[in-house]
Structure formats: C-alpha cells, structure tokens
C-alpha cells in the first residue's frame, strides 16, 4: 500500500523539509544570471554575506522571495497571514579564493529579538549545493529544545554576524543531515532548528538565498544581532496586529 507522507507531521517532528522543487533549471538560470551581475558589480567580498534585504531594491529578489510556489509551502506551515522578515544571500566561495569560510552551528531566532521566537527560513539553492561545496546541514528534531545558549566559535572563518555558535554538546549523539539540493530546489527550516555548514572544498561557488518569514502575530521586542529592527512586510493574508511599521510594496505585480 502506498502510504502518503503527511508533510506537516514531518515538519513538526523533524523541524525541516527539503528537496522541494520550486524552479526548473531554466528558470533558476535566469535568476542566477541576475545574481551574477550583482556579484560582478559589487564584488565577491560583498556578495559573500553582504546582500541583506535587497528585496526592497532589486526586483528579481522581490519576485523570488514572494514567489507563489514558495509562499504556498510557507502558508501550509505558518498559516496564511505572512510577513516577509528578511532576505539574505549566503555565498560561499571555494576556500582557496576567500579562505575557509563556514557557518557555525546555530539557531536562527536566538538573536533576532522576536516574541514569540517564531520564524521559518526557506533556503533556495541558486547554485547546485552538495557536500563538497558546503551545503547546509541540520540536526533533525533539535527545534524541540527551545532557545539554547550560544557562545563564540573558536575557529576562524565563521560567517555568522557575531561569530555565534551553539555548543556541539547540545546535540551530541545526533547525526547531522546534509541538505544537498539542485539549483532551483529549496529546503525550509524552523527558526529553532540547529544548523550550519562546512567550508567549500570544491572549485565551485555555493550560493543560496535565505528567505525569512513570520506569522503576523510575531513582534520584534529588541534589536537583532546587527543592531537593527526589521522592515517586515505583509506578503499574504491580513495583518490584524500591526506590530511592524507598514512598508510600501516595492514592485507591483
């Protein structure tokens, strides 16, 4: 008998979903070319982790972040009243080009100042991502432990904003899962799920767009780790709470 998998149950249990095909290789190529242009004009140093919240200025990032296919998955997990909290490209270059860069184990919401600490991230592969070029890795079920204490990483090259790291003791004995994806595929992770990624040991770039979403009931009660308040924008349903100042939709349909 072919038992159908209940995605919501998998999400609740594991804290992530993966292998979600959003764009065909032809469609994602168009977006990759637009990213390549941005990278060329601003340089690799900025492209690595410096493209924060560019969806307000760059139409292709807005279109990607509000794509109905992505939103459909998000709505099925957090309901129909959704705010786009932020966008961030994570672009890891081959280690011999820009040094051994990695993302230390962490939970996203720890330093975002949200109350309740509830957010999800859709991570869209712009390039093919695999073990060699440092795909994202997650600790299944770790979102059930609540917010964990983070320290500082001792290893040079952590791309996180304040060099934060959750101690590996928090998940000792649990095997990380590598989220390998083809360009145009996506994973989604819970804001409390422990995740990170290894250095890029290949000779290929590894670029992904992290798109952060919150349900409208969430507010920001203090500044995030970059000392900022988010410019969250309603992208689906209604906002009965008005916790964030209203934002102008940057690009019309």
Enumerate the β-bridge partners of residue 88.
52, 210
Q: Which CB atom, from 73 or from 239, has the smaller least distance to ligand AKG?
A: 73
Between CA 184 and CA 166 the distance in angstroms is 30
> Among residues 122, 46, 116, 112, which one has the least CA distance to residue 84?
122
Q: Which CB atom, from 83 or from 125, has the smaller least distance to ligand AKG?
A: 125
Whole-number minimum distance, CB 187 to ligand AKG, in Å?
9
Q: Which CB atom, from 71 or from 192, has the smaller least distance to ligand AKG?
A: 192
* Residue 207 host element (H or E): strand 206-215
If you count DSSP H runs as helices and E runs as strands, how many of each does the chain have, helices first? 6, 14
Q: Assess 51 for contact with ligand AKG (CB under 6 A).
A: no
Whole-number minimum distance, CB 214 to ligand AKG, in Å?
14
| Contact flags string 176-205 toward ligand AKG, x per CB under 6 A | -------------------x-x--------
Whole-number minimum distance, CB 108 to ligand AKG, in Å?
5
Q: Which CB atom, from 136 or from 218, has the smaller least distance to ligand AKG?
A: 136
Whole-number minimum distance, CB 68 to ligand AKG, in Å?
21
∠60-213-88 over CA atoms, to 5°? 50
* Residue 150 host element (H or E): strand 150-152
Q: Which CB atom, from 123 or from 244, has the smaller least distance to ligand AKG?
A: 123
Q: Which of 208, 209, 232, 239 binds ligand AKG (CB under 6 A)?
A: 208
Q: Which CB atom, from 48 or from 239, has the smaller least distance to ligand AKG?
A: 48
Q: Which of residues 63-92 bind ligand AKG (CB under 6 A)?
A: 90
Q: Which of residues 105-144 bind ligand AKG (CB under 6 A)?
A: 108, 121, 123, 136
Q: Assess 210 for contact with ligand AKG (CB under 6 A).
A: yes
Query: Helix, strand or coil for residue 68?
Result: helix
Answer for the pair 119, 108: CB distance below 8 angstroms, yes or no.
yes
CB atoms within 10 A of CB 63: 14
Between CA 249 and CA 253 the distance in angstroms is 10
What torsion, rounded to 10 degrees, do the Cα atoms 228, 233, 234, 235 define? -120
Binding site for ligand AKG (CB under 6 A): 90, 103, 108, 121, 123, 136, 195, 197, 208, 210
């Amino acid at each position: 008998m072919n038992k159908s998998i209940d995605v919501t149950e998998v999400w609740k249990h594991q804290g992530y979903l993966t292998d979600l095909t959003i764009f065909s290789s032809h469609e994602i190529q168009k977006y990759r070319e637009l990213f390549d242009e941005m990278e060329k004009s601003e340089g690799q140093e900025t492209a690595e982790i410096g493209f924060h919240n560019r969806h307000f200025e760059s139409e292709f990032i807005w279109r990607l972040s509000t794509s109905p296919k992505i939103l459909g998955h998000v709505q099925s997990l957090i309901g129909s009243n959704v705010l786009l909290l932020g966008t961030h490209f994570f672009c890891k270059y081959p280690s011999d080009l820009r040094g051994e860069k990695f993302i230390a184990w962490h939970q996203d919401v720890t330093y975002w100042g949200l109350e309740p600490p509830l957010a999800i991230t859709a991570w869209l592969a712009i390039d093919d991502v695999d073990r060699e070029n440092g795909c994202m890795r997650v600790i299944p079920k770790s979102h059930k432990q609540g917010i964990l204490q983070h320290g500082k990483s001792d290893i040079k090259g952590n791309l996180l904003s304040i060099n934060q790291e959750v101690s590996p003791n928090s998940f000792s004995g649990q095997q990380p899962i590598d989220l390998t994806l083809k360009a145009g595929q996506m994973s989604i992770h819970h804001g409390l799920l422990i995740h990170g990624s290894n250095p890029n040991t290949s000779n290929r770039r590894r670029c992904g767009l992290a798109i952060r979403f919150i349900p409208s009931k969430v507010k920001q009660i203090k500044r995030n780790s970059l000392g900022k308040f988010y410019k969250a924008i309603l992208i689906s349903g209604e906002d009965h709470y008005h916790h964030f100042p209203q934002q102008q939709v940057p690009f019309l349909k």
